Structure 1
Amino acid sequence: MNSSTLSRSPRTYSPVNALYAHAEQLQAHSLSDLLGCDSSSAQQRASALAFTFGSLHLDVSKQRITPHTLKLLIDWAHSCGVKEKRQALFSGQKVNISERREALHMAARWPKHKTPPKGMEAAATFCQQQQLRLAGMVSRVHEGRWFGATGQAITDVVHIGVGGSDLGPKLISEALADRPSHEKVRVHYVSTMDGAQLLPLMERLNPATTLLVLASKSFTTADTQFNVRTALAWLSEALEIDISTICHHQLVGVSSKPEKMTAFGIPEAHQLVFKDWIGGRFSLWSPIGVSVAMQLGMEQFNALLAGAHAMDQHFLDAPLEENLPTLLALVGAWNCQFLNIPTHAVLPYDGRLKSLSAYLQQLEMESNGKSVGLDGRSVNHATCPIMWGDVGPNAQHAFYQLLHQGGHTVSADFVAVAKRDVVATDEVSRALCAQEQLTLANCLAQSQLFALGDDAIPVSLRGHMAQGYRGNHPNSLLLLQELNPWSIGALLALYEHKVFVQSVLWNLNPFDQPGVELGKQLATSLYEMLAGETLAHNNVKDPSTEQLLCKINEWRQ
């Protein structure tokens, strides 16, 4: 771009306009051109676009950016006030404007021995008090001192939640419980409102030794309420004990509404509370994570919090040019807003991270999937891309064909784990080591093929295999040294802060979710009609829905 285009006159220069102009110029250059294979400039570019924080490494050299792109993006971040709004977030200002609340989920992982930022002190103290209560409950279960209604010690925990009260804890449970020796107690997750996850548990768990954890910020979510009532009915019927007694012995409540937990029949000693300034999709670190702690132990849970806090500190202190959450956010915004790439795939190359894409779908799309800014005006471009994905090795045998040779352009995050320690015999260890190497090789190969397309085909194979690999799919690679509580805590906090930075760039409130409410209200009215309680007079009538209701009623009779 010439100097006249980038004139920094206060009257004419705009970081956003400069980025649009720069994006138009970059359209003439493929990722193959930018990577440049063996050239020294390509080597310098690759080195300049790789960043390491602790045991987490971020490589964005396969993105359609140059160091100059990064400079323009950093200018944009400064012009939007990312540094100032980052400080406001950590100091407890009411950054959730529509709900007039702070957003202090970072307080839930702030260490007791470390002074929090001014404005976060009371929040951190409250969270630390709840962590002590949580630790006490965990100890009771692990030491065999928590008894069910018939006097038998708890062996299984059924965690009942949905959305943020389910996705985060479930992800951590799957990621860190790769060997049975890690588990202190068995934990099972129930979220679907149709009972499909609950029914098999009712068939195989011992009702006398099962503890229910009801995790619900509002304590009114229909999905969770229906599941817990069914579970309580099962325990009551199986044990021949009234539900109020079951609640007293075999139910833990986690909510921001202690008065509703009490009214439900949960004793105060079995209640864990978090404040409404922790949003549901940011609540893993709060007492919502109690089931993770019961499964893995407090040492593992505290290490998870420590990894997230380390990323908090990095986000708060590091200059934007070296700040991993800011860089990930800027690259994502560049792809979505300036390169007009509508979807983003999350592709973990480790089966333990099978729920990562679902977790990030909620985190990103519920936070920034909005078209009205903080000023009440419509945003005239896409904000959040459509997030999707699967475990990489499985995806290679499913939708990669379309990505490689179809007509769609996507961006992607590849997530890989460099090493994995397994206690096994020498022969099994060697076999597993070979599998890990194959998995990493596939991850690197697919990332390369996404970027280079046909240019990734070695000269020796050209003419001997099909061509038509599109390439030009920009992708980042996030490499974890190993998958442990610290590293996954840091990884998820990285994405949380990415979401916040993008909300600043797009002038959005990432901490509310008004778009989910109307569907729930319509469903309530239709449920009452299906249950024969009322007519669906609160719903807009349309012939399609009416004929479906008729067919459902016909088949249910």
Structure 2
Amino acid sequence: MRVRCDTTTAWPRLHRHFEQRGRGFDLRQAFTADRARFDAFSQEAPEIFADLSKNLIDREAEALLFELARECGVEAHRDAMFAGERINSTEGRAVKHWLLRAGGEAGEGDAVLVRQALESMLAYAGQVRADAAITDVVNIGIGGSDLGPQMAVAALETFRDPGKRFHFVSNVDGHELAGVLRGLKAGNTLFLVASKTFTTLETMTNARSARRWFEEQGGRDVARHFAALTTNVEAARDFGITSTFGFWDWVGGRYSLWSTIGLPIAIAIGAAQFQDLLRGANAMDAHFRSQPLESNLPVRLGLLDVWYRNFHGFTSRCIAPYHSALKRLPAYLQQLEMESNGKRVDAQGQPLPFATSPVLWGEPGTNGQHAYFQMLHQGTDTVPVEFIAVRQPAHALPVHHELLLANALAQAQALMQGKPDPGGHRHFPGNRPSTFFLLESLTPASLGALLALHEHRVFVSGSVWGIDSFDQWGVELGKVLAQDIAQRFTSLSLNGLDDSTAGLLRRIHPPI
């Protein structure tokens, strides 16, 4: 039985510390009183330097949080995951996405299957890369089958094959698919259909429409121009697809870019760079598994999230990547954290008396500065901000990168320091927290480490809260009801509907 945070002895002690020291904590005074604060609250981890010193936390609070983690059994829970135990209790599944980047040099069972699947996927990616006739690759998926690959292909744009364009279609809204197809030629396009079961409503609707467009444009060889990332080989074969790449039920969707779902990434950057992506993540896995809590970056971040959510009462966190290639990272992290930890009951199904996942949101800097930073600096809510910067640019344009980094540093500084104004309108209260992640350069290895860092951070906060971070039942009800409503466009029946839904259906479909 896992130990939930509010049943520990550290929990009330944290509350007392917050009331005595945390509620009125002032960052500016903290730096004045502790000249070693930056060193104490910053650290190196694989591929990443993290500065946590501009957060509303002191050494005593962090020490109590480490005690909380130990009482909650975070280390044992972590070790159970890496041992392949079924820690996804509501679905009775192991959680082994880490195995996908473990190297596969040795081992048996799943490790052998992982290596074989990776070799097969990378070989196919190499064939596509060598095929000059294929100029466009369209990934059709949704959720983890879209967000991860789309984010990574954009992030690693400087490593991409210049002879190919990559497109991602996820929304069942036909405007998205139609917009992509408008610029394509059937003979030059490869479609990747990513659906574990090959039944996902949005994905299969888009896939069937793509095949119909392909045939109407004169395409004849579906087997050459379509591949499937699925375990339902028979359904894919019925669709006309012979190239299929499977994965396992211990790979959750939001953790699946490391699997064959990463095929568009492998086509974009090649086998060697894809292996580097895995190696970067594996290095962070090793850090998480081996480092003591006090020097374990995912642990420190996950506990900071608990401190902010349950003691300071902060309801959201802003992600501000100061690199345009990371434009899809906020959306990726939204799913990772909010689908994992957006839970109202613990792993035993008991209602929780405390808050869980915050709302994640954000845009790349410096665009965000001209959109919502007004609220971050002078709004009534305190929102912790996470800056992600890259020291070395991947372009040779003078001045740009220095200005970009100067803005990132200045925004973090301004949030902390503030500026008084007796008139009020120009008053910046300051004391607004932020974390600063610095990568040497944006490479497959550093991206892999960054993503694994956030995976493990989410694991830690979920472990403390005593929830199952690896199921996602909350997405199911709406999907079931959507199928029922879709049938009513044909049946014209309103039986059993609430008055609001029935009224809207009449408005949308007047014959009903």
Query: Contact between 2:494 and 2:502, CA under 8 Å: does it hold in 1?
Result: no
Q: Which residue of structure 2 lines up, in the alignment, with residue 160 of structure 1? A: 140
Q: Which residue of structure 1 lines up, in the alignment, with residue 152 of structure 2? A: 172
Distance 1:69 1:92 in 2: 33
Q: How far apart are residue 207 of structure 1 and its match?
A: 0.5
Q: Select 1:239's aligned residue among 214, 218, 223.
A: 218
Distance 1:127 1:544 in 2: 49
Q: Which residue of structure 2 lines up, in the alignment, with residue 23 of structure 1? A: 18
Q: How far apart are residue 464 of structure 1 and its match?
A: 11
Change (3 A) 1:75 1:187: same
SS at match of 2:113: helix
Change (3 A) 1:139 1:29: closer
Q: Which residue of structure 1 lines up, in the alignment, with residue 204 of structure 2? A: 225
Q: Which residue of structure 2 lines up, in the alignment, with residue 295 of structure 1? A: 268
Distance 2:464 2:76 in 1: 12
Greater relative contact order, per chain length (Cα 8 Å cut-off, separation 6+): 2
Distance 1:224 1:189 in 2: 11
Distance 2:63 2:193 in 1: 47
Q: Which residue of structure 2 lines up, in the alignment, with residue 418 of structure 1? A: 391
Distance 2:299 2:181 in 1: 45
1:323-374 CA distances to partner (integer Å, 9 max, x unpaired)?
A: 1111110111110111110111111111111111100000000000001001
Q: CA RMSD in A?
A: 2.0
Q: Which residue of structure 2 lines up, in the alignment, with residue 260 of structure 1? A: 235
Q: How far apart are residue 179 of structure 1 and its match?
A: 7.0
Q: Select 1:494's aligned residue among 428, 434, 453.
A: 453
1:142 equivalent in alignment to 2:142: no
Distance 1:339 1:130 in 2: 45
1:216 equivalent in alignment to 2:195: yes
Distance 2:124 2:374 in 1: 49
Q: Which residue of structure 2 lines up, in the alignment, with residue 383 of structure 1? A: 356
Q: Select 1:304's aligned residue among 264, 277, 302.
A: 277
Distance 1:194 1:173 in 2: 23
Q: Which residue of structure 2 lines up, in the alignment, with residue 425 of structure 1? A: none
Distance 1:259 1:277 in 2: 21
Q: Select 1:54's aligned residue among 36, 41, 46.
A: 46
**Residue identity in the other structure for 1:100:** G
1:527 equivalent in alignment to 2:486: yes
Q: Which residue of structure 1 lines up, in the alignment, with residue 413 of structure 2? A: 448
**Residue identity in the other structure for 2:504:** L
Q: How does 1:58-457 map to 2 (within 5 A)?
A: 58-113=50-105, 115=106, 121-144=108-131, 153-178=133-158, 182-183=161-162, 185-239=164-218, 241=220, 245-246=221-222, 248-267=223-242, 270-422=243-395, 429=396, 432-454=397-419
Aligned residues between the structures: 505
Q: Which residue of structure 1 lines up, in the alignment, with residue 472 of structure 2? A: 513
Q: How far apart are residue 217 of structure 1 and its match?
A: 2.1
**Residue identity in the other structure for 1:208:** G
List runs of 5+ in structure 2 lacking aligned partners.
1-6
Query: Contact between 1:177 and 1:183, CA under 8 Å: does it hold in 2?
Result: no
Q: How far apart are residue 404 of structure 1 and its match?
A: 1.3
Distance 2:281 2:344 in 1: 30
Distance 1:501 1:156 in 2: 40
SS at match of 1:509: coil
SS at match of 1:419: coil
Q: How far apart are residue 262 of structure 1 and its match?
A: 3.2
Over the matched positions of the two proteins, sequence identity in percent amounts to 39
Distance 1:478 1:420 in 2: 15
Query: Contact between 1:185 and 1:296, CA under 8 Å: does it hold in 2?
Result: no
Give the ranges of 4+ consecutive aligned residues of structure 1 lying more than 4 Å apart after TM superposition. 462-466
TM-score by length of 1: 0.87
**Residue identity in the other structure for 1:445:** A
Q: How far apart are residue 271 of structure 1 and its match?
A: 0.6
Distance 2:79 2:247 in 1: 23
Change (3 A) 1:551 1:328: same
Q: Which moved more, 1:248-257 or 1:519-528?
A: 248-257
Q: Select 2:502's aligned residue among 525, 543, 546.
A: 546
Distance 1:388 1:144 in 2: 39
**Residue identity in the other structure for 1:98:** T
Q: How far apart are residue 433 of structure 1 and its match?
A: 3.8
Q: How far apart are residue 223 of structure 1 and its match?
A: 0.7
Q: Which moved more, 1:462-471 or 1:305-314?
A: 462-471
SS at match of 1:387: strand
Q: How far apart are residue 391 of structure 1 and its match?
A: 1.0
Query: Contact between 2:293 and 2:299, CA under 8 Å: does it hold in 1?
Result: yes
Query: Contact between 2:151 and 2:326, CA under 8 Å: does it hold in 1?
Result: yes
Distance 1:433 1:414 in 2: 23
**Residue identity in the other structure for 2:9:** S
Q: How far apart are residue 466 of structure 1 and its match?
A: 5.0
Q: How far apart are residue 185 of structure 1 and its match?
A: 2.6
